[in-house]
Amino acid sequence: MWLSKSIVHLASLLPLCWLYYHAINDTLGADPVETVIHFTGIGALNLLLITLLISPSAERFKQPKLLKFRRMLGLWAFTYALLHLLNFIAFELQFDWSLLFSEIVERPYITVGMAAFVVLLLLTVTSVNRIKKQMGPKWQKLHNWVYIASIAVVVHFYWSIKSDIYEPGIYAIMLAWLLALRKLKIKRWLKIG
């Protein structure tokens, strides 16, 4: 368990080291800013989908141990999303805060992306065992919002693109499949919630 957890951490961390090493040295293509933003954004989405794959796989293949990886993968998804946002603020907008706020308000794809980020932030903050216990049944209700957030992330990706529909389309199909796997749970949640 210790070893496999280390592997997950390294597999998530090393690409970031590689990315920022090249970006800082200007050896990441012509526009390192665009590349780091796209890389961390797609990375966050990939990690989010892998996180959503854990519970259905654990159930299907009767491997409850897999659940031990769910939180760490979710936290890595958040880390990539956080870097994605920080890259946008620091390197794309270069700390033009008024531009950031007007973009959040005026551009639907950024509004949706920020909303997803806020949800992931809440899930991250409440992921600590102590808080989880204190929250009781409310915790699960809050963490069901990961489904809403992941839909928002795919919409954010689709709306951010100029003309291609295939790549976001593939992500939309993968997400639809992951949500369909937990159809009953989501139905129950929406009725109660």
Partner 1 sequence: MLIKNPKSYELKEHQVTDETTYLNRRELLKKMGYVGTGSLLASASANAGPLDFFGKKEDDKVFARTALDFKAQPQDGSEILTPEAKVASHNNFYEFGLDKADPAKNSQGLKVDPWQLSISGEMNNPFTLGYDDLFKKYPLEERIYRLRCVEAWSMVIPWVGFSLADVIKAANPTSKAKYVAFETLYDPKQMPGQRSRRIGGGIDYPYVEGLRIDEAMNRLSFLSVGLYGKTLPPQNGAPIRLVVPWKYGFKSIKSIVSIKLVEKQPPTTWNILAPHEYGFYANVNPAVSHPRWSQASERRITTGGLFARNRIETLPFNGYGEEVAALYKNMDLAKFY
Q: Which residue, 59 or 103, is less far from partner 1 as judged by CB?
A: 103
* By CB under 8 A, residue 96 contacts partner 1: yes
Nearest C-alpha neighbor of 72 from the set 2, 138, 142: 2
Among the listed residues 1, 2, 3, 27, the single contact to partner 1 using CB under 8 A: 27
* By CB under 8 A, residue 108 contacts partner 1: yes
- Sequence-separated (6 or more) residues with CB below 8 Å from residue 144: 185, 186, 189, 193
Per-residue contact flags (x/-) with partner 1 for residues 162 to 181, judged by CB under 8 A: xxxxxx--------------
Is the separation of the CB atoms in 109 and 115 below 8 Å? no
DSSP letter for 90, please: I
How long a stretch of residues is the chain? 193
* By CB under 8 A, residue 159 contacts partner 1: yes
Q: Which residue, 33 or 135, is less far from partner 1 as judged by CB?
A: 33
- Whole-number minimum distance, CB 50 to partner 1, in Å? 10
DSSP-based three-state secondary structure for 162:
coil
Q: Which residue, 145 or 153, is less far from partner 1 as judged by CB?
A: 153
Radius of gyration of the chain (CA): 18
Stretch that binds partner 1, among 60-68, 91-99, 118-126, 129-137 (CB under 8 A): 91-99
Q: Residue 139, exposed/middle/buried by CB under 10 A (0-12, 13-18, 19+)?
A: middle
Q: Which residue, 108 or 128, is less far from partner 1 as judged by CB?
A: 108
Rama region for 118: left / alpha / beta (φ>0; ψ in -120 to 50; rest): alpha
Q: Which residue, 28 or 114, is less far from partner 1 as judged by CB?
A: 28
What are the residues binding partner 1 (CB under 8 A)? 14-15, 18-20, 22-36, 39, 42-43, 46, 91-94, 96, 99, 102-103, 106-109, 159-160, 162-167
